[in-house]
Homo-oligomer: A and B are copies of this chain.
Amino acid sequence: MTDIAFSHLAIVVDDLQSALQFWRDSLGLSQAGEIERVAAEEVDAAFMTLGDAKIELIEPTTADSGIAKFLAKRGPGIHHLCLEVPDLDAKLEDLSARGYQLINETPRERGGRRYAFIHPKSSGGVLLELYERN
């Protein structure tokens, strides 16, 4: 058994209300909490919960964030996958030693949550975020 958990799949949308109309009102997912403004990421976010996993819908609130640029360039769609590991520093050190490329060599922190991104070059074209289990 792995000690890694599925945290969330983040989907960039150009309009959170019509995205909610699809994923929540029409498909039938459950929204957890209200829409949250995440100032640091310059997005509004809504979380849908499905058992252990979450789907996060994110809409850029400014035009020049990384997320806004992704949306402008590639259109709406899946942005990143986030998995949760027990010891983030050890995992990053190990991946780095194996020659995989990290976007964040040392973990960043937001709202008490430690996280780091792995470069899509290393994870087969997938932008992979790792959370440290709280």
Which A residues are within 8 Å of any B CB, using their own CB?
A: 1-6, 9, 11-14, 18-19, 22-23, 26-30, 48-53, 55, 57, 75-78, 81, 83, 85, 91, 94-95, 98, 100, 120, 122-126
The majority secondary structure among interface residues of chain A is mixed
Q: Is the CB of A50 within 8 A of B11?
A: no
Protomer copies: 2
Question: Does the CB pair B28–A2 fall under 8 Å?
Answer: yes
In the complex, chain B residues whose CB is within 8 Å of the CB of A2: 28-30, 48-50
Given the complex of chains A and B, what is the CA–CA distance between A49 and B23 in angstroms?
24
The docked-state distance in angstroms from the alpha carbon of A110 to that of B13 is 32
Q: Which residues of B contact A123 (CB under 8 A)?
A: 22-23
Contact sample, A vs B, 19 pairs, CB 8 Å cutoff: A1-B30, A2-B28, A2-B29, A2-B48, A2-B50, A3-B28, A4-B28, A4-B50, A6-B53, A11-B124, A18-B124, A19-B124, A27-B91, A51-B51, A55-B81, A75-B125, A76-B126, A78-B78, A78-B81
